Chains A and B, each alone.
Chain A
């Protein structure tokens, strides 16, 4: 099956700084790459996604970039705020849904 690696596992940034989380995958047939935010005690919530025919997508402070040749995609959060603190998971879809191992982001006020 698909092998999804996510880095870093933990990330601390000062409020207002940017945060970048990267995922790599192995199956070149994968074509949909969502990012989820999971707050303590809650289920994952979709925050942004990108499809294989697009290289970059932006939604306010959040952006995702995809490099299909290199098989990696990244989540970029700019002007971080304390409420951005959560665990972020990337995911990759083929027939199944494969999640990355998660990044615990802490935004220090």
Chain B
């Protein structure tokens, strides 16, 4: 069964550093998403991406965040200057264009900012 994959599984970084989280969505999906889950809290929507541009974003997704599809398979989330409060699990998800509600999530990247 096709699945969303994410790398790395755990990323540790110093405050102020840039990080790039990577995702490989399911191959025939056209919508891609990033979510954040702070430890013990609910999953929060960050951004959705379609046709090489952002389609929706939440208030959390400020100027320090950016997303990119650098090639035909990867979808990345960049955090420009990490803060302590960016420590969280980051989940990538993907869906078809026809059924955006049915999203398939990756296993997540745990980001720890020291």
Contact = CB atoms under 8 A, between A and B. Distances in A.
B65 interface: no
A98 B101 contact: no
Given A43-B91, A43-B108, A101-B42, A96 B58 contact: yes
Nearest to A97: B45
A98 to B, nearest CB: 7
Contacts of A41: 107
A89 B35 CA distance: 14
B43 A89 contact: yes
Given A44-B43, A89-B42, A89-B43, A97 B103 contact: yes
A61 interface: no
Nearest to B110: A41
Q: How many A residues are at the interface, by size bracket?
A: 20 to 34
23 contacts: A1-B58, A32-B101, A34-B103, A42-B107, A42-B108, A43-B93, A43-B105, A43-B107, A44-B43, A44-B91, A46-B104, A49-B101, A93-B101, A95-B56, A96-B45, A96-B48, A97-B103, A99-B42, A99-B43, A99-B45, A101-B41, A101-B42, A102-B42
The 6 closest A-B pairs by CB, nearest first: A43-B105, A32-B101, A99-B43, A101-B42, A97-B45, A99-B42
